[in-house]
Amino acid sequence: MREALMLDFLSQLELHNNREWFHGNQELYRQAKLAFQQLVGELMDGLGSVDEAILPMDPASLTFKLMRDTRFSHDKSSYQPAFRAHIGPKGKLPIPVGYYLMIRPGNRSFLGGGLFADMFPGATALVRDSIAAHGEEWEQIIQAPEFAKLFSVQGTKLKNVPRGYDPEDPNGEYLKYKSWYVEYPVSDDQLLQGDFVPGALSVFSRMKPLNDFLNRALGGFEMPRR
């Protein structure tokens, strides 16, 4: 089973998180990576029937590298022992927002949606403006039973409503945010049951109203060029 293969590789990588072990187990990595890309491809195909903004792409282009940048981190382990992908209208770019998947053993996997990146002040301002201008729509989305049953909006935020916005706004708490996202936890047992894709697509479909709101707000935003 591909999910078991992925979890087994990642568990071993977490125990032996160094380049010597990784380079000595390239075949195991290759098999696990291909299994993850296959999973991402199936989710992408399914999402295409739920969200017309999701177009066919090479699943490999939607995944993130295992190698960690340790230059400014106290944690010097070489690899992130997790398979990660973002299935969005422009691939794995964080904007426009899409659907995020992380597979990590130890019941640390999750499905995500919304804006995870808080390093783009222009994007944050656009979303704040949209929440302030369309507060009722925002409330309808996050308070809808199908949404609220599974999710609560998270994100990095300020202590106070930023200057220029009404501190008495009913959605003032959300105006403090710099990013707006949701996560749905996935246990190892859920991954191993054999019907993960249909369940994941059901969860992703309930995130879509949030993604739609954010992407309308972010319509004029352009990612900085590297």
Q: What is the pLDDT of residue 2?
A: 92
Q: What is the pLDDT of residue 223?
A: 86
Please give the backbone phi and psi of residue 29, each rounded to the nearest 5 degrees, phi first.
-65, -45
Kindly state the percentage of the chain with pLDDT values over 70: 97
Please give the backbone phi and psi of residue 119, each rounded to the nearest 5 degrees, phi first.
-100, 10
Please give the backbone phi and psi of residue 186, each rounded to the nearest 5 degrees, phi first.
-130, 125
What does the pLDDT look like over 86-97, one tens digit per residue?
999 999 999 999
Q: What is the pLDDT of residue 77?
A: 83
Q: What is the pLDDT of residue 90?
A: 95
Q: What is the pLDDT of residue 72?
A: 66
Q: Does the structure show a pLDDT above 80 at 41?
A: yes
Kindly state the percentage of the chain with pLDDT values over 90: 91
What does the pLDDT look like over 196-217, one tens digit per residue?
999 999 999 999 999 999 999 9
Instruction: Round the average pLDDT of the chain to a whole number and report it.
Output: 95
Here the tokens at position 160 are: 């106070």
Q: What is the pLDDT of residue 198?
A: 97
Predicted TM-score of the model (pTM):
0.94
Q: Does the structure show a pLDDT above 90 at 220?
A: no
Domains of the chain, by residue range, sit at: 2-217
Lowest-pLDDT choice from 22-36, 63-77, 144-158, 170-184? 63-77
Q: What is the pLDDT of residue 71?
A: 65
Using CA atoms, how far residue 29 sits from 6, 12, 101, 223, in Å, is 9, 10, 18, 32
Q: What is the pLDDT of residue 215?
A: 98
What does the pLDDT look like over 115-167, one tens digit per residue?
999 999 999 999 999 999 999 999 999 999 999 999 999 999 999 999 999 99
Three-class SS of the chain: CHHHHHHHHHHHHHHCCCHHHHHHCHHHHHHHHHHHHHHHHHHHHHHHCCCCCCCCCCHHHHECCCECCCCCCCCCCCECCCEEEEEECCECCCCCCEEEEEECCCCCEEEEEEECCCCCHHHHHHHHHHHHHCHHHHHHHHHCHHHHCCCCCECCECCCCCCCCCCCCCCHHHHCECCEEEEEEECHHHHHCCCHHHHHHHHHHHHHHHHHHHHHHCCCCCCCCC
